[in-house]
Amino acid sequence: MQRLITNSVKILLLFFLVLILQACDRFLKPQNQLQKILDAGVLKVGTQYSFNTYYQGAKGPEGLEYELAKGFADHLGVALEVYPHYNRTSLYPLLEQDHIDLIAVGIAKTSNQERFKFAPSYQRASQKLVYKQGIVRPKSPEDLDGKLVIAEGSGFEDWLTSNEQAQSKWRNIDWKISELEDVEELALNIQSGALDYTIVDSNSLAVLRRLHPNLSVGFTVVQEQPLAWALAKHQDDSLLAALVEYFGEVNDNGTLAVLMEKYFGHIKEFNYVDTKAFLQAANQTLPQYQAWFKKYSSSIDWRLLAAMSYQESHWNPKAKSPTGVRGLMMLTLATAQELEVNSRLDPEESIRGGAQYFESLLRRIPERISSPDRIWFALAAYNIGLGHLEDARVLTQKLGGNPDLWIDVKKHLPLLSKKRYYRTTQYGYARGHEALTYVSNIRRYYDSLIYLTEKQP
């Protein structure tokens, strides 16, 4: 009996010893980076304040990097903590000292391979020498005759630091780095004539030229490079593996394409004359009608309504098209009568009618379509009618696209003018390519009005 008790005690002791060893193993064995994030329930992301990266909008944080980072945190099932800085170089030591988990800024992979690990590339950009239109165009660094200032932490600075051949070429060029001015401020200085040259990445330049049309490109300083998020070199690859999975997922399901369309899809083409005319009209003509746009905008942003009006009539209350639509909002006679607009040439009446009509279109877009896509669909319907818009959505679905995504439907709108397609639609022929241009123009005007009225990104 005593022997049985002794054996039982030994078994219990052995069992507890195994438990203790397992606990010690878990305590002593270092966790990988991803597991630490999952256990803490928080993903810490460093990013940069910028009009196309991260900023506080009217309804909270906005920007391409923010939306991607929020998507990644949701993918992991953790909360997102954002640590925004005014230049990317101040984020580097935070990453290397493990105060943040990653840097969500488009950093050129080829210029920084020695310093960081990189997530999959999601964007590309080149570096452009920018000057004010009207002076002699520089075609190479040797042609620069004036002051060249570059924002701290720019892609150009990264490229130059890692490229010995480039360093020798730029050694004799007079240039400096500004710690206090960002890319947008330097662009403003060029527009005003206070600065001769700066270097800007091509994605930022596409946005800036909508606000400052006198910005011209002298030459390409750095050819297009892939951009990606940066991770600490000393960390294991667990977080990197999760990012590879995430970016593969958003590529496959179209989320990345939708975000790129949202932030850059409407600014690829630049028209100097149109941009100059719009900015002048926004300064001189819009104030006459701004109070009415605000009064009748209801749930719509008044600046969107104003952008529509500029696209329709260039804010000319007497405007008239060959098809008979008239006024600031270019209403048809039938629509005006339905909305009890007594005179389409009366600016206030036209704005009221246009706002009511656009709101009615918004309500008729399927509820499952989220913003901003439902807004772009309603704009297209304002131009070509709901029937033709529905035809384009049906065509999109038939041809393998998603009828609820603007990025897919806008590719198929031009097919409404091709016989092989419109003969199969319910409402027949339509100038779908014009609706596409119509929406893109309004989006650009709207972006500009947001900037001009808020004086900030």
Domain ranges across the chain = 1-29, 274-454
Structure tokens given for 100: 């943040």
* pLDDT of 265: 74
> What whole-number distance in Å separates Cα of residue 235 and Cα of residue 118?
12
Output the 3-class SS for 53-92.
CEEEECCEEECHHHHHHHHHHHHHCCEEEEEEECCHHHHH
- Identify which of 159, 155, 255 has the alpha carbon closest to the alpha carbon of residue 202: 155
* pLDDT of 13: 56
Is 189's pLDDT higher than 70? yes
- Angstrom CA distances, 311 to 263, 348, 361, stand at 20, 17, 18
In single-letter form, the type of residue at position 259 comes to L
In terms of phi and psi (left: phi > 0; alpha: psi -120 to 50; beta: otherwise), the region of 324 is left
Name the percent of the chain lying above pLDDT 70.
Answer: 91
* pLDDT of 192: 87
- Angstrom CA distances, 12 to 1, 8, 23, stand at 17, 6, 17
* pLDDT of 396: 96
> What whole-number distance in Å separates Cα of residue 84 and Cα of residue 99?
13
Is 456's pLDDT higher than 50? no
Q: Give the up-direction half-sphere exposure of residue 224: CA atoms within 13 A in the CB hemisphere.
A: 6
> What whole-number distance in Å separates Cα of residue 359 and Cα of residue 31?
54
With bands split at pLDDT 50, 70 and 90, how would you rate the model's confidence at 413? Answer: very high
Pairwise pLDDT comparison (113 vs 38), residue with the higher score: 38
Please give the model's pTM, rounded to 2 decimal places: 0.74
With bands split at pLDDT 50, 70 and 90, how would you rate the model's confidence at 149? Answer: very high
Helices (H), 253-316: 255-264, 272-284, 290-296, 302-313
> What whole-number distance in Å separates Cα of residue 387 and Cα of residue 365?
11
* pLDDT of 321: 83
> What whole-number distance in Å separates Cα of residue 104 and Cα of residue 370?
25
Rg (the chain; Cα; Å)? 28
* pLDDT of 366: 94
- Angstrom CA distances, 206 to 126, 163, 271, 277, stand at 12, 26, 11, 18
How many CB atoms sit inside 10 A of residue 228's CB? 24
With bands split at pLDDT 50, 70 and 90, how would you rate the model's confidence at 457? Answer: very low
* pLDDT of 7: 56
Question: Once rounded to an integer, what is the mean pLDDT over residues 131-144?
Answer: 91
Find out whether 381 and 360 touch, Cβ atoms under 8 Å: no
Reported as a single tens digit per residue, the pLDDT across 201-227 is 988 888 888 878 889 999 999 899 999
Find out whether 178 and 198 touch, Cβ atoms under 8 Å: no
Question: Once rounded to an integer, what is the mean pLDDT over residues 374-383?
Answer: 96
* pLDDT of 187: 87
* pLDDT of 317: 94
> What whole-number distance in Å separates Cα of residue 264 and Cα of residue 8?
72
Pairwise pLDDT comparison (232 vs 266), residue with the higher score: 232
Name the percent of the chain lying above pLDDT 90.
Answer: 58
With bands split at pLDDT 50, 70 and 90, how would you rate the model's confidence at 29? Answer: low
With bands split at pLDDT 50, 70 and 90, how would you rate the model's confidence at 11? Answer: low
Reported as a single tens digit per residue, the pLDDT across 299-342 is 899 999 999 999 999 999 999 887 788 999 999 999 999 999 99
181: annotated active-site residue: no
Q: Is 131 exposed, middle or buried (0-12, 13-18, 19+ CB in 10 A)?
A: buried
CATH T-level fold of 274-454: Lysozyme (1.10.530)
Which range, 271-275, 324-328, 400-404, is most confident?
400-404
415 secondary structure, DSSP code: G
The three-class DSSP label of residue 41 is: coil
Pairwise pLDDT comparison (62 vs 317), residue with the higher score: 317
Is 59's pLDDT higher than 80? no
Exactly one of 312, 338, 348, 367 is catalytic; which is it?
312
The three-class DSSP label of residue 30 is: coil
* pLDDT of 155: 83
